[in-house]
Amino acid sequence: MKIITLNLNGIRSAARKGLFQWMTRTRADAVCVQELKAHDVDLDDIMRAPGRFRGHFYHAEKKGYSGVGLYSARVPDRVTQGIGNKEADGEGRYVRADFGKLSVISVYLPSGSAGPHRQASKFRFIAHREFDLRNWRSNQKNSGFLPEERAWLTRVFDELGWVDVYRRLHPEATGEAYTWWSNRGNAYANNVGWRIDYQIATPKLAASAKRASVYKDQRFSDHAPLTIDYDYPLG
């Protein structure tokens, strides 16, 4: 099973840069995307269903803002949009697809950089997600959870027992693990980046991971796709 996650920084912009042509060549089973910056009426047929994939989306109420998606090569048994929290759901930050005993989730964490009010919103989202993660682990359900940003991950790993899958496979990785580069100061050319896109999973699922890589041959946004291959069936 191959899963990819990518922050698009705008699905229409990424499409113009060749995202969907590349995606159809990846042989991925699921592709999780964040920051659509579009509503349903803005999506064309290729954005909705590129090649063998079918997309499932959760849009923000505000135009040109946030939004997440999950493409799958197989029809999910169930798709869940939102977390049941009005504040977070209005910003389109969570979509989950269930395939038998496996769940794949695309989530886009709020940024607190705009000021104290946004930092408070971020903390509220994190508190809700911690409750969700505790339930997943206590129910022993296998899940791949694909967040963007690291604000809460130390707690998730140390206290809740989830696994940073890329770090498990590449414990010493530094620059090759970066998934985001600022558009200022030639950051990409100089590889001055951050690792802020993750795949985290339950221990059983993480133990099946065989390969992980960051794709840098093409640029679809200011982030790069993170791909992980698991020796685990999709459903």
* 101-131 residue pLDDT tens: 999 999 888 665 555 665 566 556 665 555 4
The domain total for the chain is 1
Is residue 9 domain-resident? Answer: yes
Is residue 186 domain-resident? Answer: yes
Is residue 235 domain-resident? Answer: no
The answer, yes or no, to whether residue 65 has pLDDT greater than 50, is yes
Say which residue, 142 or 166, is predicted with more confidence. 166
Q: What pLDDT score was predicted for residue 86?
A: 82
Burial 91-103 (b: 16+ CB within 10 A, else e): bbbbbbbbbeebb
* Average pLDDT taken over every residue of the chain: 87
CB 60 within 8 A of CB 91: yes
Q: What pLDDT score was predicted for residue 235?
A: 72
Is residue 63 domain-resident? Answer: yes
Is residue 15 domain-resident? Answer: yes
Q: What are phi and psi of 169, to 5 degrees?
A: -80, -30
Q: What are phi and psi of 45, to 5 degrees?
A: -60, -35
Q: What pLDDT score was predicted for residue 173?
A: 85
CATH code of 103's domain: 3.60.10.10
Is residue 123 domain-resident? Answer: yes
Comparing 21-25, 33-37, 86-90, 180-184, the range with the smallest average pLDDT is 86-90
Is residue 19 domain-resident? Answer: yes
pTM of this prediction exceeds 0.85: yes
Say which residue, 58 or 146, is predicted with more confidence. 58
Which residue segment(s) compose the domain that 188 sits in? 2-230
Q: What pLDDT score was predicted for residue 131?
A: 47
Is residue 178 domain-resident? Answer: yes
Q: Which of 38, 30, 31, 32 is nearest to 13 (CA)?
A: 38
Q: What percent of the chain has pLDDT over 90?
A: 65
